[in-house]
């Protein structure tokens, strides 16, 4: 089951890279932005492992005593289970107004939450996700396209994307250094989830994501030793880029 699950996930990923592209700000993110193509072969495989680490963790139905371990059960869920709200933020009613009856709970390979994120992703992918957020859980290719869009797109213009933070395109400022933010996998968690998992020490939610990254490093033949030191692999001591915001579930 472990090997079968991993092969299915990787096949979906490779098919997406070969047959579909994600447009970010009018550019093809696979070529011009360097998704999975930045650096040498090792770095390329490491970025794929990092991306899949997030995907596997966020879609997993694994648990501690599951056959093959919890890291072997990614791509089990394609949407948030038992959402507690509709994730409609009226602050964006002029740019990304909520559609009556639509619910913007987490969906996709790296889940997207909130009306403004569905709106922005829909604009980039040229799909009406604001009116039809359910498309992401109904279409596997779109679910991965949205995940790649999220990986390649900064939360704010002055901040790095998860891609840039991982492959080394991002150069930390003096303030980043003071707040313990360094390039690597830990920074991708900071960007994608913020204070939801970062700056709290070695909490289970953070360690679960990091464990999936190490699992895919091994699976792709890179080896978990490339995951980096604790401060690079995790965001345990990093101050969130965007504290006290909805980034934790964005």
Q: Name the percent of the chain lying above pLDDT 90.
A: 69
Residue 92 CA: distances (Å) to CA of 76, 96, 98, 106, 108: 32, 5, 8, 18, 22
How far apart (Å, rounded) are the C-alpha atoms in residues 237 and 244? 16
Tokens of 25: 């700000």
How far apart (Å, rounded) are the C-alpha atoms in residues 61 and 120? 28
Contact criterion met (CB below 8 Å) for 38 and 169: yes
pLDDT for residue 213 = 96
How far apart (Å, rounded) are the C-alpha atoms in residues 114 and 103? 8
- For the stretch 87-97, pLDDT in tens is 999 999 999 99
pLDDT for residue 29 = 43
- Which pLDDT band holds residue 23 (cuts at 50, 70, 90)? very low
Residue-range domains of the chain with CATH: 2-76+146-249 (1.10.530.10), 90-142 (3.30.20.10)
- For the stretch 183-201, pLDDT in tens is 999 999 999 999 999 999 9
pTM: 0.86
How far apart (Å, rounded) are the C-alpha atoms in residues 130 and 126? 11
Whether residue 223 is predicted with pLDDT greater than 60 in this model: the reply is yes
Whether residue 7 is predicted with pLDDT greater than 90 in this model: the reply is no
Whether residue 117 is predicted with pLDDT greater than 50 in this model: the reply is yes
pLDDT for residue 61 = 79
- For the stretch 27-78, pLDDT in tens is 444 434 588 899 999 999 999 999 999 999 998 876 665 566 677 777 778 8
Three-state DSSP class for residue 121: helix
Contacts of 82 (CB under 8 A, 6+ apart): none
Of the listed ranges 4-13, 64-73, 221-230, the least confidently predicted one is 4-13
Helix ranges, the chain (H): 2-19, 41-58, 115-125, 135-138, 140-152, 162-167, 174-178, 185-193, 204-219, 230-233
- For the stretch 131-179, pLDDT in tens is 999 999 999 999 999 999 999 999 998 899 999 999 999 999 999 999 9
HSE-CB at 156 with a 13 A cutoff on CA atoms is 9
Whether residue 222 is predicted with pLDDT greater than 80 in this model: the reply is yes
DSSP code of residue 90: G
pLDDT for residue 18 = 36
Whether residue 210 is predicted with pLDDT greater than 80 in this model: the reply is yes
Contacts of 119 (CB under 8 A, 6+ apart): 92, 95, 96, 129, 130
Query: Considering only CA atoms, which of 228, 236, 231 is closest in space to residue 203?
Result: 236
Tokens of 47: 């970025």
pLDDT for residue 246 = 61
pLDDT for residue 243 = 82
């Amino acid at each position: 089951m472990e090997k079968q699950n991993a092969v299915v996930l990787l096949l979906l990923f490779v098919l997406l890279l070969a047959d579909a592209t994600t447009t970010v700000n009018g550019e093809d993110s696979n070529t011009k932005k360097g998704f999975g193509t930045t650096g040498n072969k090792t770095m390329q495989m490491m970025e794929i492992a990092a991306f899949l680490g997030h995907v596997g963790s966020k879609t997993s139905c694994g648990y501690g005593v599951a056959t093959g371990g919890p890291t072997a059960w990614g791509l089990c869920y394609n949407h948030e289970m038992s959402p507690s709200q509709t994730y409609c933020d009226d602050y964006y009613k002029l740019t990304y107004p909520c559609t009556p009856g639509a619910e913007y709970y987490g969906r996709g390979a790296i889940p997207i939450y909130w009306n403004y994120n569905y709106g922005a992703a829909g604009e980039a992918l040229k799909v009406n996700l604001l009116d039809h957020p359910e498309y992401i859980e109904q279409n596997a290719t779109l679910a991965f396209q949205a995940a790649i869009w999220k990986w390649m797109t900064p939360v704010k213009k002055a901040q790095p994307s998860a891609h840039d933070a991982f492959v080394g395109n991002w150069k930390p400022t003096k303030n980043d250094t003071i707040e313990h933010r360094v390039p690597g996998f830990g920074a991708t968690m900071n960007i994608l989830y913020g204070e939801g998992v970062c700056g709290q020490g070695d909490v289970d939610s953070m360690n679960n994501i990091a464990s999936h990254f190490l699992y895919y490093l091994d699976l792709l033949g890179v080896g978990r030793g490339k995951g980096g030191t604790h401060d690079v692999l995790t965001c345990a001591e990093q101050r969130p880029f965007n504290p006290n915001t909805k980034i934790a579930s964005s």
